[in-house]
Amino acid sequence: MSFVQQLRHAERLNDSLLCVGLDPDPAKFPTHWQGDASRIYDFCAAIVDATKDLVLAFKPQIAYFAAHRAEDQLEQLMAHIKRVAPQVPVILDAKRGDIGATAQQYAREAFERFQADAVTLSPFMGRDSIEPYLQYPNKGAILLCRTSNSGGDDWQMQRLADVPGQPRLYEHLAHLAQTEWNHNGQLGLVVGATYPQEIARVRELAPTLPLLIPGVGAQGGDAAATVAAGWRGDATQTTGPIVVNSSRAVLYASRGEDFAAAARRVALETRAVLRPTVAR
């Protein structure tokens, strides 16, 4: 299956729009593992086991592994997810943004070494920074578009005087991703949950693309508003899945030995908040 097909299958199977972000910070681990980077795999695997039937994707953030020299634990975790939850696609959150031979190596890292189903990319350097990833059939490339951080306004909200209609930068990117950049149907977009109006605008411009929406939970994004802005309706031509990410609220729901059970409770609650707004 393609990445988009995997998302749709997991959405139906687990009745979920929730993605759990795997951002392991040993300083926030349960008390009995606190500060122990050798437990990164154990912590993340426990979260995966507790939530694998509640999500449509997992999203490990590579920096949290690399900072602790734990890339081998990330490889182990990826293999674990493929083994225990083969129906759930995995998005490697790497935000790569280089070109040429370097981009080819980053694509190899994401799709061959770590066996990710999709990877997040920064498209600042243009189309040729994306093309090496599209050489992997059925893999996804999810481009930063309208991010949840306040500094995103510095570039993403600027108008382009040389483009007809003078769209904002994020609008132009959404249009390119929906049209001329997306020959193989592999692209998706990142749009922050803290900007529901811009989610709706991106959905208007890119009706068939998957939207990865971080910012629900600890970052303050409104889950119901997020889904209402990005969801596909039966009366429209919008077909793209939405992937609503929550990381810290799920991972660190408890500092005790019940951390995995607590993570499951929060994941259940978040899935339930997302579900009523979904048109059936």
Q: Which residues are catalytic?
A: 95
| The one-letter amino acid at 273 | V
What angle do helix axes 259-274 and 40-51 make, rounded to 10 degrees? 40
SS3 state of residue 244: strand
Instruction: Tell me how far apart the 2 most distant CA atoms of the chain are, in Å.
Output: 58
The angle subtended at Cα 116 by Cα 190 and Cα 46, nearest 5°, is 95
CA gyration radius, the chain: 18
> How far apart are the C-alpha atoms of 221 and 120, rounded to whole Å?
20
> How far apart are the C-alpha atoms of 272 and 179, rounded to whole Å?
34
- 179: left (phi > 0), else alpha (psi -120 to 50), else beta? alpha
Q: Tell me the sheet residues that pair with 22.
A: 60
SS3 state of residue 280: coil
> How far apart are the C-alpha atoms of 79 and 97, rounded to whole Å?
25
